[in-house]
C-alpha cells in the first residue's frame, strides 16, 4: 500500500479549485520537495475540521494542554501549483499519538473496485471471484503528523474554505446559484430530484 507520509509537513492545507457551486476540494501536503494533493468532498473537509476540534478538546480534558498547542498562524496561501490529484479520498481517520504529542490525519483512497456492487444473485458468484482476484489489493494513503497548534490552524482554515462557497437562501437555507434559485419556501413545492 503506497503511503504518502509527511512527518512533519512544511504545509498541510485544505483548498479548492473552481467557482462556488462547482468547486473541487483538496487536501494538500507539502514537504521534502514533494506535493501530495488528494480530492475529497466538501462534507469530508467539514467533518474532519470538526473532529479535529473535538479530538483536541478531549486530549486537553484528559491530559491537560499538550506541548505544541500554542497558537499557529493560519496558512492563507493558495494550493501549491501544479495541482495533480494523487487519488480521491474514501475514508478519513484521525488519531492522537500521545508519545509524540501529534495529531495524525490519514486519508485513504476510495475503493473503486466495485466488488460489492458487481453481484446481485448467486448465479454470478464465479464472475465475482475472478473480478476480486484482478482488483487492486491496495489503496493509497496520505498520512500527516501535526502538532496540536498546526491541527487547530488546519481546522480553522478548512472551515473557512467550506463556508466560502455560495451564500445560503435566507428562506430555505439551500445554496443560491448565480443563474437563479428555485426556493421551496416561495412556491411551496420541492421535488425530491432537486435535493
Q: What is the pLDDT of residues 73-105, one digit of tens each?
A: 888 889 999 899 999 999 999 999 999 999 999
pLDDT at 120: 40
Residues in the chain: 195
C-alpha cell at 142: 496520505
Looking at 93-145, list the stretches that DSSP marks H as alpha helix, in order from N- to C-terminal side.
Answer: 115-118, 125-134
**Nearest-CA neighbor of 12 among 25, 29, 35?**
29
Q: Is the pLDDT of residue 125 over 50?
A: no
Helix/strand/coil percentages in the chain, nearest 5 = 30, 30, 40
The pTM of this model reads: 0.74
Nearest-5° Cα angle at 104, 100 to 108:
150
Instruction: Provide the angle, in degrees to the nearest 10, between the axes of the packed helices 42-63 and 148-163.
Output: 150
Q: Is the pLDDT of residue 68 over 90?
A: no
pLDDT at 183: 77
pLDDT in tens, 16-48: 998 877 889 999 999 999 999 999 999 999 999
pLDDT in tens, 129-168: 333 334 344 689 999 999 999 999 999 999 999 988 777 7
pLDDT at 192: 54
Decide: 7 and 142 in contact? Cβ < 8 Å: no
Range with the lowest mean pLDDT among 110-114, 128-132, 168-172? 128-132
- Give the Cα separation of 12 and 100 in Å (integer): 18
Decide: 26 and 40 in contact? Cβ < 8 Å: yes
Amino acid at each position: 500500500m503506497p503511503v504518502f507520509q509527511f512527518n512533519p509537513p512544511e504545509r498541510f492545507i485544505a483548498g479548492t479549485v473552481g467557482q462556488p457551486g462547482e468547486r473541487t476540494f483538496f487536501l494538500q501536503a507539502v514537504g521534502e520537495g514533494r506535493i501530495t494533493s488528494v480530492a475529497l468532498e466538501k462534507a469530508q473537509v467539514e467533518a474532519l475540521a470538526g473532529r479535529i476540534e473535538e479530538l483536541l478538546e478531549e486530549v486537553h480534558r484528559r491530559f491537560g494542554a499538550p506541548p505544541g498547542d500554542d497558537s499557529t498562524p493560519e496558512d492563507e496561501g493558495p494550493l501549491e501549483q501544479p495541482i495533480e490529484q494523487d487519488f480521491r479520498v474514501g475514508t478519513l481517520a484521525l488519531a492522537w499519538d500521545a508519545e509524540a504529542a501529534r495529531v495524525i490525519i490519514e486519508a485513504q483512497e476510495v475503493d473503486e473496485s466495485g466488488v460489492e456492487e458487481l453481484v446481485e444473485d448467486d448465479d454470478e458468484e464465479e464472475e465475482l471471484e475472478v473480478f476480486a482476484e484482478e482488483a487492486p489489493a491496495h489503496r493509497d494513503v496520505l498520512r500527516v503528523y501535526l502538532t496540536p497548534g498546526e491541527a487547530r490552524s488546519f481546522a480553522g482554515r478548512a472551515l473557512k474554505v467550506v463556508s466560502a462557497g455560495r451564500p445560503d437562501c435566507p428562506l430555505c437555507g439551500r445554496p443560491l446559484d448565480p443563474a437563479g434559485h428555485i426556493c421551496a419556501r416561495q412556491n411551496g413545492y420541492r421535488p425530491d430530484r432537486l435535493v
